[in-house]
Copies of this chain bind each other. A is one copy, B any other.
Amino acid sequence: MKQWNDECGVFGIYNHPEAANLTYLGLHSLQHRGQESAGIVTSDERTMRFQLGMGLVQDIFSEGDLARLPGVHAIGHVRYSTTGSSALKNAQPFFVETVHGRIAFAHNGNLVNAGVLRHELEHQGSIFQGSSDTEVVAHLYARSKGEKLITRLVDALRRVKGAYSLVMLVEKRLVAVRDPNGFRPLVLGKVRDSYVVASETCALDLIEGQYIREVEPGELIMISSKGLESFRPFPPAATRQCIFEHIYFARPDSFVFGRQVYPVRQAFGRELAREHPVDADVVIPVPDSGIVAALGYAEASGVPFAMGLIRNHYVGRTFIEPEQSIRHFGVKLKLNAVREVLQGKRVVVVDDSIVRGTTSRKIVKMVREAGAREVHMRISSPPTRFPCYFGIDTPTQTELIASSHTVEEINRFLTSDSLGYLSRDALERATDHGPYAYCDACFTGVYPVAAEGRPGDPCEPQG
């Protein structure tokens, strides 16, 4: 329903007798970060094996499949990707043979100079099978003259610009590295004696892992028989963590960027109440993503909270729409209004963001048709006006309603009685992260890293 699609989730585990099983569970916990394809690569220190597939983790891997992935180290990936038969080409982990041996990469992020580098590599004779940025990293790695794995990887990563939380597996080593700006999350933990890395801590929780700390922006961690080694191979850079992880992407029970998402998201709601109060009878969220902010709004405003929209959790990919059209069909398949909660009420509807505005407009109408006297939209983030180049699959700028419309115009389009967005200042207050440490290019258009590209070949965001 959200018109921006999530990026990817990565997972890695070193030295565990059930590496594939735990990776499978870790990926299940990260399923919200990508539902289109998934893959696991394992190593038993001599042989590396892999399986990739389209769909949900639980549908791709049977018990027999996991048994055919023996090994003590493993990495895994869930991905949002474009549909079609070619999608499997871009499924990850990306697994290749190089002069330095077999190597597998699982990547969350997007490189803004991938197009330029790819062009350059192609000119040097490289061939590309898919369109993922990860393939570029693998080529750079393979071409490096560095003698040690770490040298080659750093060689490669010094060439790339943009966002990457990258997990890499070779026969006997697991590497985790986060770009200097730290756009995307990556955490380090342990299951008993085995190190684990994952996009979010919820992956640790399921497998009874302990959270140790974040992989820091610009940090490269190598785990081998020598234990864990930490490197800082890149020039220092300002931290620019993706604020949308806190607004929308990450699970509320996860810790990302050192903070649990739930209280941050709740604080957004509280700030939103302060900035955009309204005389109302009830606060309702757009479930599920708006729930925590709505609770914060209700708490700070004193307006009672209710679940005025009920979500149908059985909605899958495709639905057949009758010819005799149904108003707000796409939204109705997922949401239904609770008349007794809304009837005659002045209603505050809390959502995390507005993309094109069409869904929000349908929601406003659905709430009003259920009897609401007034409908006030409150958005727990600033207007989204610019596309993301750091790992989120957003619509183009022209499709983002806030790129070309004022708040008042958007309010009219939505047919709501009022509309309030959270300010960037309030966002900063709520995250309470000392000096402002987040990337908010989607609100400001100020990109921490400039995109490079051949004319006519804009660097498309990819997971």
Contacts and interface: CB of A to CB of B under 8 A. Distances in A.
B314 A56 contact: yes
B58 A339 contact: no
Given A206-B336, A332-B205, A339-B260, A319 B58 contact: yes
Given A314-B56, A336-B253, A126 B129 contact: no
A304 B59 CA distance: 39
Interface in A158-188: none
A40 to B, nearest CB: 11
A372 interface: no
A414 interface: no
Interface stretch (A93-101, A106-114, A375-383): A93-101
A333 B206 contact: yes
Interface string A295-320: 10001000011110010111110111
A14 interface: no
Contacts of A86: 50
A189 interface: no
B340 A260 contact: yes
**For chain A, what secondary structure do more than half of its interface residues adopt (helix, strand, loop), or is it mixed?**
mixed
Contacts of A337: 205, 253
Contact of A295 (B97, B307, B327): B307
A449 interface: no
A61 interface: yes
Interface of A: 17-18, 21-22, 24-25, 28-29, 31-32, 35, 50-53, 56-59, 61-63, 65-66, 68, 84-86, 88, 95-99, 119, 122-129, 138-139, 142-144, 202, 205-208, 251-253, 260, 262-263, 288, 291-292, 295, 299, 304-307, 310, 312-316, 318-320, 322-324, 326-327, 332-333, 336-341
18 contacts: A18-B324, A50-B85, A56-B316, A57-B314, A58-B314, A58-B315, A65-B85, A66-B320, A96-B128, A97-B122, A125-B143, A126-B142, A253-B310, A253-B338, A260-B339, A262-B307, A262-B338, A305-B305
